[in-house]
Amino acid sequence: MIALPAGTRVYLTCGRTDMRRGFDGLAAQVQTVLARDPHDGVLFVFRGKRGDLVKAIWWDGQGMCLFAKRLERGRFLWPTAKDGSVRLSAAELSMLLKGIDWRNVERSWRPEVAA
């Protein structure tokens, strides 16, 4: 995994995306559908119809980067909204890319008393 700089904002694009798109098609979708600048250092993540493939684009200051991941089993969990985007933390993105339900994480242990 390529590490992103600390503080990089991450947005999931809601809805389904044509996964045949590359750099230019995904950047155009960011501009037209989300009304955002794809060159401002934000990582934009897209999911296809089947749900087993995600692509992400990110401007690193010198050029556009395109990342892709396909799950061999299972599907990536995605917001149910049809339009817009959802902001994620780096930890939530990491869970999403591993196929973990990032929307409702439950802690396995919680302290009951302070001392």
Report the relative pairing of strands 10-13 and 43-47 from DSSP bridges.
Answer: parallel
Q: Tens of pLDDT along 27-77?
A: 999 999 889 999 999 999 999 899 999 999 999 999 999 999 998 988 888
For tokens 């196929």, what's the residue?
Answer: 99
Paired tokens of 3: 């590490």
| Residue-level pLDDT at 115 | 67
Query: How is 32-49 classified by DSSP, letter by letter?
Result: HTS---TTSS-EEEEE-S
| Pairing label, strands 10-13, 64-70 | unpaired
Spatial separation of the C-alpha atoms in residues 47 and 94, rounded to whole Å: 15
How confident is the model over 78-96, as a mean pLDDT?
83
User: Residue 89: CB partners within 8 Å, gap ≥ 6?
Assistant: 10
Do residues 76 and 47 lie in contact, with contact meaning Cβ atoms separated by under 8 Å?
yes
Q: What is the longest distance spanned by two Cα atoms in the chain?
A: 57
